[in-house]
Structure 1
Amino acid sequence: MTARLPVFPLGTVLFPGLVLPLHIFEERYRALVRHLVDLPAGRPREFGVVAIRAGWEVATTAPDGRPVPGGGDVALHEVGCTAELRQVTELADGGYDIVTVGRRRFRVTDVDADAAPYLTADVQWLPEPTAPDEATDLLAARVISVFRQYLGLIRADEEQLSEQLPEDPTVLSHLVAATAALTVADRQRLLTIDDTAARLRAELRLLNRESTLLRQVRAVPVPLAELASPPTPN
Structure 2
Amino acid sequence: MSIYTHTQTIPLFPLGTTLFPDGIMLLKIFEVRYLDMVKQCVREGSGFGVVTLNGGDEVRMPGQEVSFNSVGTYARIKEFDPVQPSLFMIQCHGEQRFRVKTSETKRNGLIVADVDFIEDDAFMEVPEDLKMTSTVLGKVIQSFKEQGAALGKELPFSKPYRFNECGWVANRWCELLQLSPGQKQFFLEQESPRLRLDLIHELLEEMGVYKAVK
Give TM-score, length-normalised by structure 1: 0.73
Q: Is the 8 A contact 1:28 1:117 kept in 2?
A: yes
Larger Rg: 1
- 1:159 is displaced (CA, Å) by 4.4
Task: In structure 1, list runs of 5 or more residues that go unmatched.
Answer: 63-71, 216-234
CA distance in 1, matches of 2:55, 2:104: 17
Ranges of 4+ aligned residues in structure 1 off by more than 4 Å: 145-149, 156-161
* More strand, by proportion: 2
User: What SS does structure 1 have at the residue aligned with 2:36?
Assistant: helix
Matched residue, 1:166:
162
Aligned to 1:196: 193
Q: Is the 8 A contact 1:82 1:105 kept in 2?
A: yes
Task: Tell me if the contact between 2:73 and 2:97 (Cα under 8 Å) persists in the aligned partners.
Answer: yes
Aligned CA RMSD, in angstroms, stands at 2.9
Match of 2:111 among 104, 108, 119: 119
Structure 2 distance, partners of 1:172, 1:200, is 7
CA contact (8 A) 1:50 1:80 kept: yes
Shift of 1:117: 4.7
Q: Distance in 2 between matches of 1:117 and 1:140?
A: 45
Q: Deviations over 1:120-144 (max 9, x none)?
A: 11111112232325xx433551312
TM-aligned CA distance change 1:130 to 1:119, over 3 Å = same
Instruction: Tell me how far 1:119 sits from its aligned partner.
Output: 0.7
How many residue pairs get matched? 195
The 3 A distance-change label for structure 1 pair 87 and 157 is closer
Identity of aligned residues (%): 25
Kindly report which structure 2 residues correspond to 1:1-234, keeping only aligned pairs within 5 A, or say none.
Answer: 1-39=6-44, 44-62=45-63, 72-114=64-106, 117-133=109-125, 136-145=126-135, 147=137, 159=146, 166-169=162-165, 170-211=167-208
Aligned partners of 1:3 and 1:123 also within 8 Å: yes
